[in-house]
Amino acid sequence: MEIVVVIPAVLLLLFLSIQVAMYSVARSVALNAAQEGLTAARGYNGSAAAGSARAQDFVTRAGGDLLTDTHVSVTRTATQATVTVTGSSLSLVPGLHWQIRQSATGPVERWIE
């Protein structure tokens, strides 16, 4: 009789632990995409469009299905660039949607005399 109670609890814990691992990987992909986009956006001849394209390309190549509904926003001023990647983690548990938001900020490369 106890096995009827234990097996569903064990399966729930198993699925929840896999879900946490998938969230962690998706979060890592989003952070790395933001850092890649920042590298392109903050370069001497870089632009916000170049940063956005590189970040989106990274998400497409590395994220696969783990990071869905992605959006990349890039802000570049004369002195600073910021890349933010948002999206959702793939869900094993129906109805559970974890949002991901990762940003990277750095100074813009420029020539100062």
Structure-token pair, residue 74:
């890039």
- According to the model, what pLDDT value does residue 72 have? 96
- According to the model, what pLDDT value does residue 1 have? 59
Enumerate residue ranges in the chain where pLDDT < 50.
none
- According to the model, what pLDDT value does residue 12 have? 87
Q: What angle do CA 98, 19, 96 make, to 5 degrees?
A: 40
- According to the model, what pLDDT value does residue 33 have? 96
Greatest alpha-carbon span in the chain? 80
- According to the model, what pLDDT value does residue 49 have? 94
